[in-house]
Homo-oligomer: A and B are copies of this chain.
Amino acid sequence: MRPLFLAVLVSALLSASVPAWPAEIEPLPALPPIPADNSMTPQKIELGKMLFFDPRLSGSKWISCATCHNPAMGYTDRLPRALGHAMSEGPRNTPTILNAAFIKAQFWDGRADGLEAQALGPIQADVEMKQTLTQMVNNLKQVPEYVTRFKEVFGETDPITPGNIAKAIATFERTLITPDSPFDRYLRGDKLALSRDAREGYRLFQEKGCTACHNGPVLSDGNFHHIKVPGSVDEGRFKVTKNPADLSAFRTPTLRNVELTAPYFNNGSVNTLEGAVVVMGNEALNTNISRKDAVLIADFLRSLTGTMPKFDYPDLPYTRY
């Protein structure tokens, strides 16, 4: 064979069988990364769970983290844009916190690095929980069981601090992972864990180039990409960096459990997975994804729903009056 012909053949084979981008999708690890200064102890997980469910962290004492990150709905609110204090509407869609521990950049615009840095944001936001850190700390100090538990967990003389509250909540969030999805079983060798349609969807997902951004164990590169979905006027990452290159750039969201977290995108403008796939084709990949292919890709995406974390409701302790 002449070298030119060989090169053309190889190229043709590559374009037919190898994705345009390397796949690099991995099964979900058993544990997410754990910061060296915030060890995961059972007592800290339990305390974090209590705080996550406790409305006394909010200014109204009526809204908890779990109000919008609702465990019954994939840890989202299934609303286009988040509601919060006085039922005011925030500018963005509530992201799931399932497997958020695997991504460093938090929030749609990545304005926090890691779960600890993220945790105190919604507590203080006027359209979310609308509480000051000082008042929150004062309120929690009136709960004798919290005083005891914070001392046990953190071993300090005055342990109820915003930083420790964030550490405890982040530790609980590190337990909110969803292993053993059909796709994980497929990656581990159980080829029948996916339907034929879902397998074809996975092939298309790679072929179309979705894995350029949606890769790694949670199908997010944790990085920022320009994506202006219908109806969005959100400046995205630009609000954080003031760098014009970051205008309308958002952090790639995880696709794990994505079937549970409709509606989609930063403004919650698309209700269905199939619709979201088509929009992403146009906006992110500059390609028209046919309805038929979108249905197959959506079938693949539904295979990313894992086992929900199970735990007992916390029994929240009393405030001392």
Contact = CB atoms under 8 A, between A and B. Distances in A.
Main secondary structure of the interface of A (DSSP, over half): loop
A55 B71 contact: no
Contacts of A25: none
B308 A310 contact: no
Q: How many copies does the complex hold?
A: 2
Given A86-B86, A87-B87, A315 B321 contact: no
Interface string A50-86: 0001111000111000010011110001110001011
Interface string A3-39: 0000000000000000000000000000000000000
A272 interface: yes
A321 B72 contact: no
Nearest to A259: B318
A72 B308 contact: no
Interface in A268-321: 271-272, 308, 310, 312-316, 318-319, 321
A177 to B, nearest CB: 16
A82 to B, nearest CB: 9
Given A67-B67, A72-B313, A308-B313, 19 more contacts: A53-B72, A54-B72, A55-B73, A56-B78, A60-B87, A62-B67, A62-B87, A72-B314, A72-B315, A72-B316, A78-B319, A86-B87, A87-B87, A259-B318, A262-B318, A262-B319, A271-B319, A308-B315, A310-B312
Interface of A: 53-56, 60-62, 67, 70-73, 77-79, 83, 85-87, 259-260, 262, 271-272, 308, 310, 312-316, 318-319, 321
